[in-house]
Structure 1
Amino acid sequence: MSTLGTKENPWKLKTPPQTSEYEMYKDEKDGKEILVCTVGKTVLHYNYRCLADLQAMLRQHGDWMELGSADEQKPAKEGTVEAWARSADNPIGGWYGLKKGFRGRFGMYIPPLMEELGLAEVEHQPRNNRMKAI
């Protein structure tokens, strides 16, 4: 049996409001570890190190933080996980999303994986969900 989180056996997740299902797995591209997120027919890529970086930031933050998910073309609400994932002040100095045009939605798809891996707690309300480090 293959390990969970592989292309053959991806994590099966739901968005924070529990309204949509998607899959994620760890892969390698151009010598870098990435997360591949498949939502319907859309495929997004995120830098794998976002998991450790986000957990460290949330621990330093010390409290709940709004997710603030937004498409790449739309501005992210200040003080949210989404804004942090795009900020020049984060550990990689910019976007954790790797596919131009599909770099947003970090706050929608990464937090449920963090929860699945036991790295964070995520709210599951219809809107304005938050997360915090465990």
Structure 2
Amino acid sequence: MSSELGTKENPWKLKTPPQSSEYEMYKDEKDGKAILVCTVGKTVLHYDYRCIEDLTTMLKQHGDWIELGSADEQKPAKEGTVESWGRSSENPVGGWYGLKKGFRGRFGMYIPPLLEELQLAEVEHNPRNNRMRAL
């Protein structure tokens, strides 16, 4: 069994930015594509694995704090936030990093703590309106 962190056997154990909920993430493959599997309670979300590198690059280019702006897929994302970038036609994948229809949102909730865990970004942990920036 692999002791490498971020595998199905040994997932990253993370907390949402406000530190109010725990969830797990690991790297997997689906249809020949690297994905992140995010398990929150009984809900399972999938994100394109590229989002780690792409979001890190965007944060470095942005150069300052950026609001997370997490929102469900069915709700519009606030402009200028990590969430809006994670679904924008202007990002490197040309749209959603979330891969499961109906569960493609919440990019700004679940991906930032992973970047913090990987020491790629700093994330605020206030009750709401958190921001992140590249390290």
The residue aligned with 2:93 is 92
Report the 3-state secondary structure (helix = DSSP H, G, I; strand = E; otherwise coil) of the residue aligned with 1:37.
Answer: strand
Cα distance in 2 between the residues matched to 1:50 and 1:5: 15
The residue aligned with 2:131 is 130
The residue aligned with 1:7 is 8
Amino acid in structure 2 at the alignment position of 1:120: A
Q: CA RMSD in A?
A: 0.5
Amino acid in structure 2 at the alignment position of 1:20: S
Percent identity reads: 84
Q: CA deviation at 1:2?
A: 2.0
The residue aligned with 1:112 is 113
Q: TM-score under structure 1 normalisation?
A: 0.99
The C-alpha deviation readout for 1:42-69, integer Å capped at 9, x for no partner, is 0000000000000000100000000000
Amino acid in structure 1 at the alignment position of 2:127: P
Cα distance in 1 between the residues matched to 2:104 and 2:61: 24
Amino acid in structure 1 at the alignment position of 2:93: I
Report the 3-state secondary structure (helix = DSSP H, G, I; strand = E; otherwise coil) of the residue aligned with 1:126.
Answer: coil
The residue aligned with 1:44 is 45
Q: CA deviation at 1:101?
A: 0.2
Amino acid in structure 1 at the alignment position of 2:111: I
Cα distance in 2 between the residues matched to 1:31 and 1:43: 19
Q: CA deviation at 1:121?
A: 0.3
Q: CA deviation at 1:34?
A: 0.3
Cα distance in 2 between the residues matched to 1:59 and 1:2: 30
Amino acid in structure 2 at the alignment position of 1:47: D
Aligned pairs for 1:72-87 (under 5 A) are 72-87=73-88
Cα distance in 2 between the residues matched to 1:65 and 1:98: 23
Cα distance in 1 between the residues matched to 2:114 and 2:94: 22
Cα distance in 2 between the residues matched to 1:68 and 1:115: 17
Cα distance in 1 between the residues matched to 2:38 and 2:3: 18
Q: CA deviation at 1:87?
A: 0.2
Q: CA deviation at 1:90?
A: 0.3
Cα distance in 2 between the residues matched to 1:62 and 1:102: 29
Q: TM-score under structure 2 normalisation?
A: 0.98
Please list every run of 5 or more consecutive structure 2 residues that lacks an aligned counterpart in the other structure: none
Q: CA deviation at 1:33?
A: 0.3
